[in-house]
Chains A and B, each alone.
Chain A
């Protein structure tokens, strides 16, 4: 009888669990991809974004391009979504938008903050007949910085072993770029990001290439690896490297700065971890752990990943590397996005928060910020000017070009998950058949139609910090597959707007119409050479109550884009009293004449010898040559 009772209990428990499983484990599409909106009214109140339509933000050019791809029945895999850059090309004080997808660079000129129009000027950015024309696969990270050190912005566009450098000049009151083509012989590297810093502190900017894929000519057939890559693969991706600028102005790969892995790098973030002025490097990697490198006084890089960002938390799908001091404790933190789509992917976005002793941790109270679907680009900004940084995250993986609503597109997550469970040597052929089948059937999606996240930070009276996703209620409702995110103040009203590039569909521009909860300070830095992109400058805004807010000037941090170069501080009700700037050459200066609620220019030289626009009007020096290595 005793045995029978045991058995009866076991049978009952087993049955209950089976029933529970069948109820609790519905099909994949029923799992939520982000946490429910539980924002208190005080957090959401007044937060509002307006999505500009075709009349003010033209995107027909993108549709045309996509239509061409549909007609050619090109597969939807690949990296195609434009890289973004915010730069004032016509020097009118309003930020213009640049979209780079390697095949073409499209410029939208800002019409005094009221709308954008397609530029009829090429600004020398036309890539036809350049070394990038025809290079496959799609790529095209773009970066604007004063690489030559002449005070004028230059441009750098990269693709598979092909680089387009444009020396900036001023022509008829506009920037113009005179192109040069490079080939570096790095045939195993297809970039998905590029960032800029003076790695060895020699006064010349260097380029950090974040490479996702290795090239199609790679003996290991890495493109196939990419199709089939699985987590913990840090050997078959692109080889990241640093192009060190030589005294001659040429760039050269310096083997002292080799990275220890070949990961699928999506984003390169730059920050100065130990305040020694030598920039350190964060790599957000797909399929592998993310990486953090400490610059050894400009002599080499030390991999400090395991000690500083414990690897067991990593999500294996790192996409983004935005760096800000989100909790205003005086230390820079960073936010790496990952894919979240239960039950297939339950990794999360990681808000690595610096501890004073050096190690980063993931704060439990910011848990909600971890879940935003298949996340990609993300940027911190104080959207409501309450003095605390908020966060915009875009998301979504892919769908077939012909799928225009969720009902048309059964998810193929399950089948992809099965593929990744196969042994490595069986996978490529199966993946190839799978892709071919999907292309033929023409109806599929993977984490598609996800709504972006707008995480508003709320600081309670006790000092606790929470993030709440308010996207739906704030007007951010597009359901596209996002990629890059950049910040830009389109109308110079002190509210930073958000530009999102999407995968195979038109980009979105969200104009921030939120009610202002406080004051703001906007700063354009001009260094001693008249350059308004002083890469590596560190800015500390000090308040009357003893608090402070810090920024480091690396506008290409994030993913697939370079944001507005003007530093933006929402200060809430605090009273800023002093601005301390450590300029790229190490000089530290303080400024006290701070103006609220307007953009102001801060010069490194007390009496600027070359105001920015006048400086740009000067002809570049003949010796400032950057060219073929």
Chain B
């Protein structure tokens, strides 16, 4: 019996080891896989409302700015630009192409440049930046672009199950390998808890509060944005607090009928965290 158990454990361990060796540890590869393929599939099959020029310019701008930052700073010393940073930059551009709808040809390029530049400009230590690049570009876009040319919406994805499954599949891998799944879990737990409580305040149903976050945008946000290993805590208790805080702030903003609440909530929480780290430098790993 013990021998059988041992064999099973050994088999499981072998399988896990094989998976562990097969799937890269760095979450950005899954971000890259998710967003670039999603943009491509949507472009080909959903009729993504982005022009070829917008898509191309966004990628070029992101990679260019990444290159400049890479050369001028020591943030990614020891890494290869083309094998590492270029993919990261392209992922950030793709994320914006998925989440944002803008009419200007150059808008995505500007936003992609802002997203990438943010990594080099706003840091909390040598390796980590303060704000998630895509989130930073979106909130700054909300601030600087007139509403006539900029919006955060992904109508093309809303009719299909595919984008949700697509993002979740890559998101599970990203959070598993990046050891940040606790953030997503705590985010959804707080969202569920809040959605159960809020009907007593708003008069709406549980689903009314919860379900908007399980659409395509919500999935990108929950699995691939708030779990960004470079802008989120590494230790489990802090991860739980981080994920739950984002959900809580978002629900409060929603109650106030604030649009784009999740993006603003994430930005508020990361800003508070940045301030916290400023005050308590020894907790910088949190």
Residues of A within 8 A of B (CB): 3-4, 6-11, 13-15, 17-18, 20-21, 24-25, 27-28, 31, 230-233, 289, 310-314, 316, 340, 342-344, 346, 348, 370-371, 414-415, 417-427, 429-430, 433-434, 437
Given the known A-B contacts A232-B156, A371-B148, A434-B208, are A18 and B267 also in contact in the complex, defined by CB atoms under 8 Å?
yes
Cβ–Cβ < 8 Å partners of B148 in chain A: 340, 342, 346, 348, 370-371
CA distance A13 to B46 in the complex (A): 37
Question: Which of B51, B130, B161 is the one whose CB lies under 8 Å from A10?
Answer: B130
> A232–B275 contact, CB under 8 A?
no
- By a CB distance below 8 angstroms, the chain B residues around A437 are 203-204
* Contact residues of B between 201 and 256, Cβ < 8 Å to A: 203-205, 207-208, 211-215, 217-218, 254, 256
Known: A18-B268, A24-B143, A420-B158. A8 touches B51 (CB 8 A): no
* Max count, chain B CB within 10 A of own CB: residue among A8, A13, A429, A437: A13
Q: List 12 A-B contacts (CB under 8 A).
A: A4-B278, A7-B125, A10-B122, A10-B130, A10-B131, A14-B130, A231-B158, A232-B159, A343-B151, A346-B151, A370-B148, A437-B203
Q: Can you list the 7 inter-chain pairs with the closest CB atoms, starting with the nearest?
A: A14-B271, A231-B155, A342-B147, A10-B130, A421-B212, A10-B122, A422-B211
Residues of chain B lying within 8 A (CB to CB) of residue A6 = 122-125
Does B23 count as interface, using CB distance less than 8 angstroms? no
Chain A nearest Cβ from B153, distance in angstroms:
8
Contact, CB under 8 Å: B257 / A28: yes
Tell which of B46, B149, B257 has the most Cβ of chain A within 10 Å.
B257
CB-CB under 8 A from B214, the residues of chain A are 422-423, 426
- CB-defined contacts of B50 to chain A, threshold 8 Å: 312
Residues of chain B with a CB closer than 8 A to A28's CB: 257, 259
- With beta carbons under 8 angstroms apart, the residue of B125, B151, B215, B256 that contacts A423 is B215
Give the size category of B's interface with A: 35 or more
14 A-B pairs besides A14-B130, A422-B207 with CB distance below 8 A are A7-B281, A9-B122, A10-B130, A17-B271, A27-B256, A231-B156, A312-B49, A313-B103, A342-B148, A343-B151, A343-B260, A421-B215, A424-B158, A430-B207
Contact flag A11-B278 (CB < 8 Å), given A343-B147, A422-B215: yes
By a CB distance below 8 angstroms, the chain A residues around B204 are 415, 434, 437
How many Å from the CB of A91 to the closest CB on chain B?
48
Whether A314 contacts B205 by the Cβ 8 Å rule is no
CB of B189 within 8 Å of the partner chain: no
- Closest A residue to B271 by beta carbon equals A14
B118 to chain A, nearest CB (A): 9
Chain A residues with CB below 8 A from B217, complex form: 421
B46 touching A232, Cβ below 8 Å: yes
Given contacts A3-B126, A7-B124, A15-B271, contact A417 B47 (CB under 8 A): no
Evaluate contact between A312 and B51: CB separation under 8 angstroms: yes
B140 within 8 Å of A by Cβ?
Answer: yes
Residues of B within 8 A of A344 (CB): 259
> Which residues of B are found within 8 Å of A433, using beta-carbon distances?
205, 208
Given A289-B47, A312-B49, A423 contacting B164 (CB threshold 8 A): yes
How many whole Å from B225's CB to the nearest CB in chain A?
A: 16
Contacts of A231 in B (CB 8 A): 153, 155-156, 158
> Which chain B residues border A346 with CB–CB below 8 Å?
147-151
**How far in angstroms is the closest Cβ of chain A from B211?**
4
Bound Cα distance from A414 to B209, whole angstroms: 12
Q: Tell yes or no: B116 within 8 A of A by CB.
A: no
Please measure, in the bound complex, the distance between the C-alpha atom of A11 and the C-alpha atom of B113, giving whole angstroms. 20
Given contacts A27-B257, A421-B158, contact A430 B150 (CB under 8 A): no
- Distance in Å from the Cβ of B171 to the closest Cβ of chain A? 16
Q: Are B278 and A8 in contact (CB under 8 A)?
A: yes
Say how far A19's CB is from chain B's closest CB, in angstroms.
10
Which of B46, B264, B274, B275 has the largest number of chain A CB atoms within 10 A?
Answer: B274
* With A14-B271, A343-B147 as contacts: A7 and B123 at CB distance below 8 Å: yes
Q: Which residues of B contact A11 (CB under 8 A)?
A: 130, 271, 274-275, 278
The chain B residue with its CB closest to the CB of A362 is B103
**Is A430 a contact of B211 with CB atoms below 8 Å?**
yes
Question: Across the two chains, which residue of chain B brings its CB closest to A342?
Answer: B147
Of the residues A18, A314, A421, contact of B49 by C-beta under 8 Å: A314
Residue among A10, A417, A423 making CB contact with B211, cutoff 8 Å: A423
Known: A6-B124, A9-B122, A10-B123. A418 touches B212 (CB 8 A): yes
Contact, CB under 8 Å: A430 / B259: no
Of A3, A14, A313, A314, which contacts B131 at CB under 8 A?
Answer: A14
State whether B211 touches A7 (Cβ < 8 A): no
Q: B121-148 toward A: CB 8 Å interface, digit per residue (1/0)?
A: 1111110011100000001101100011
Give the distance to chain A from B61, nearest Cβ to Cβ, in Å.
18
Q: How far is the CA of A311 from the CA of B48 in the complex (A)?
A: 9
Contact assessment for B139 and A17 in the assembled complex, using a CB-CB cutoff below 8 Å: yes
Which chain A positions have C-beta within 8 A of B88? Answer: none
Contact present for B264 and A21 (CB under 8 Å):
yes
Q: Which of A7, A31, A340, A348 contacts B277 (CB 8 A)?
A: A7
Q: Which residue of B lies closest to A29 (CB)?
A: B257
Give the shortest distance, in Å, between B126 (CB) and chain A (any CB). 7
Asked if B270 is at the interface (CB within 8 A of a chain A CB), the reply is yes
Residues of B within 8 Å of A3, CB to CB, are 124-126, 281
Q: A232-B47, A424-B159 are in contact. Are A25 and B122 (CB under 8 A)?
A: no
Judged by a CB distance under 8 angstroms, whether B169 is at the interface is no
Residue of A nearest to B276 (CB): A11
Given contacts A24-B143, A25-B258, A421-B212, contact A7 B274 (CB under 8 A): yes
The chain B residue with its CB closest to the CB of A23 is B143
**B155 to chain A: closest residue by CB:** A231
Q: Report whether B267 and A417 are in contact in the complex, using a CB–CB cutoff of 8 Å.
A: no
CA A136 to CA B103, docked complex, whole Å: 39
Kindly identify which residue among A10, A370, A420 contacts B274, using a CB–CB cutoff of 8 Å.
A10
Q: Chain A residues near B258 (CB, 8 Å)?
A: 25
CB proximity of B282 to chain A, nearest CB, Å: 12
User: Looking at A10, A311, A429, A430, which has the most chain B CB atoms within 10 Å of its CB?
Assistant: A10
Report whether B147 and A414 are in contact in the complex, using a CB–CB cutoff of 8 Å: no
A420 to B158, CA, bound (A): 8
- Residues of chain A within 8 A (CB-CB) of B274 are 7, 10-11, 14
A430 touches B208 (CB 8 A): yes
Known A-B contacts A313-B103, A343-B259, A370-B148; A14 and B270 likewise in contact (beta carbons under 8 Å):
yes
Which chain B positions have C-beta within 8 A of A9?
A: 121-122
Bound form: Cα–Cα A348–B142 in Å: 18
Smallest CB separation, A373 vs chain B (Å): 13
- Closest Cβ of chain B: how far from A419's Cβ, in Å? 8
The distance from the CB of A464 to the nearest CB of chain B, in whole angstroms, is 20
Verify A13–B158 contact, CB threshold 8 A. no
